[in-house]
Amino acid sequence: MKTEAFVAMLEDVLGVPKGSLKMEDGPNTVERWDSLGGVTILAVIDQELHFEPSDELVSKSSTVGHIIEVLKSQGLLQD
């Protein structure tokens, strides 16, 4: 999956306008990125990328950039 498409999916999950999510955004900057929002992100990764979120991903899922970094290292996202 293209990184751009993944970010668009995150924007949909978090209920923010298209193109508004930045790499440094996380639970502290996005209102809907609360516990349930965080779990839903993991659920989407599980469902759409067929990748069961690893401990590394869960522990690093503090910003959009961190999530993308881990998924790229797994070969699941491309530029």
Shortest Å, Cβ 17 to other proteins: 15
Residues in 21-60 at the binding interface with other proteins, rule: CB under 8 A: 27, 31, 33-40, 42-44, 46-47, 55, 58-59
Calculate the alpha carbon distances from 30 to 22, 23, 39, 40, 42 in Å.
10, 12, 14, 14, 16
Is 65 one of the binding residues for other proteins (CB under 8 A)? no
The dihedral sign for the CA sequence 34, 38, 44, 47: negative
The maximal CA–CA distance of the chain, rounded, in angstroms, is: 29
- Contacts with other proteins by CB under 8 A lie at 9, 12-13, 15, 27, 31, 33-40, 42-44, 46-47, 55, 58-59, 61
